[in-house]
Amino acid sequence: MGLTRRNMMLAGTSAFAVATFCGIPVLASAVDEHIADFTGGADAVAGAIELDAPEIAENGNTVPITVSAPGASSIMILAAGNPVPAVATFNFGPMSAARSGSTRIRLAKTQDVIAVAKMEDGSFQTTQATVKVTIGGCGG
Amino acid sequence: MAKGVKPRVKVPKTAAAGDMITIKTLISHKMESGQRKDKDGNKIPRSIINRFTCEFNGQSVIDVTIEPAISTNPYFKFDAVVPETGEFKFTWYDDDGSVYETAKNIAVG
């Protein structure tokens, strides 16, 4: 195969992929473990929980996200494609009004962001959103 | 104590009893994740704020466990109910043991 324009493009994109790659990719099982730790093995179902994240994040260093889950006592946020999947856990107290929180997170690459809420009745709800990341957010 | 850490908090000055208010907090902190490497390829050690709490008159509003995936200058926005005049107390806990505190008063009238 000659050095065609198409091959050059392919080589370029894969080099870019390697350059932006940082840390060891987290296996799906690590995410599952975090969820199992949080839920104690109970099933998390879809519900009123909402995760608001941009579809495309230009800068993975600061991705604004909002989670809300009416009736939740705590909400855990995970980033499935980060070197360390845990992001943050919001624990709501008695003076909390809407069970929602906003923050800014780091995403290493395009990936799913997962939110799991523990409800006051002991059940669990989950949702996820895919965020496309143009520039990864873990330095290197 | 990490250098140049400055908490900033936005809380309305007044509210009606039982109102829901929105609180915004920001603290300047580099939040070194422990994943980055310096010029010589050595890992830069982790140095983050690992916990943030907000209390109203001693009762918890929110308690956030923070991991390295939270961005530089951690920002949080959340809602609280204000049944009476009182004080919101905000506390950030640094990895190095430092504790940063600030408080805001709110009047119910």
Higher-pLDDT residue of A133 and A137 is A133
- Nearest CB neighbour to A105, from listed B55, B56, B70: B70
Contact list in A for residue B78 (CB cut-off 8 A) is: 90, 96, 100-102
What is the ipTM for the molecules in this complex?
A: 0.89
Predicted confidence at residue B5, as pLDDT, reads: 86
Confidence bin at A131 (pLDDT 50/70/90): very high
DSSP SS3 for A139:
coil
Distance between CA atoms of residues B56 and B106, nearest Å: 10
Residue B93 belongs to domain with CATH number: 2.60.40.10
Distance between CA atoms of residues A127 and A115, nearest Å: 5
Round the average pLDDT of chain B to a whole number and report it: 91
Confidence bin at A68 (pLDDT 50/70/90): very high
Contact yes or no for B59 and A98 at CB 8 A:
no
Whether B4 is covered by a domain: the verdict is no
Whether B69 is covered by a domain: the verdict is yes
Contact yes or no for A93 and B78 at CB 8 A:
no
Predicted confidence at residue B95, as pLDDT, reads: 92
Tell me: pLDDT of A15 over 60.
Answer: no
Whether B31 is covered by a domain: the verdict is no
Whether B2 is covered by a domain: the verdict is no
Distance between CA atoms of residues A90 and A72, nearest Å: 10
Confidence bin at A135 (pLDDT 50/70/90): confident
What's the sign of the alpha-carbon dihedral B63, B79, B99, A83? Answer: positive
Contact yes or no for B35 and A22 at CB 8 A:
yes
Condensed to tens digits (0 to 9), the pLDDT of residues B73-104 reads 999 999 999 999 999 999 999 999 999 999 99
pTM of structure: 0.82
Tell me: pLDDT of A61 over 70.
Answer: yes
B 39-98 → A contacts, CB under 8 A = 55-56, 59-72, 74-81
Confidence bin at A105 (pLDDT 50/70/90): very high
Contact yes or no for A93 and B77 at CB 8 A:
no
Predicted confidence at residue B24, as pLDDT, reads: 96
DSSP SS3 for A39:
helix
Condensed to tens digits (0 to 9), the pLDDT of residues A110-127 reads 999 999 999 999 999 999
- Nearest CB neighbour to B80, from listed A83, A97, A106: A97
In total, how many domains does chain B have?
1
Whether B44 is covered by a domain: the verdict is no
Question: Which residue range is the domain that position B109 belongs to?
Answer: 12-23+49-109
Whether B64 is covered by a domain: the verdict is yes
User: What distance in Å separates residue A37's CA from the closest CA in chain B?
Assistant: 15
Whether B73 is covered by a domain: the verdict is yes
Tell me: pLDDT of B61 over 50.
Answer: yes
| Assigned token pair, B21 | 């208010």
Whether B93 is covered by a domain: the verdict is yes
Predicted confidence at residue A25, as pLDDT, reads: 54
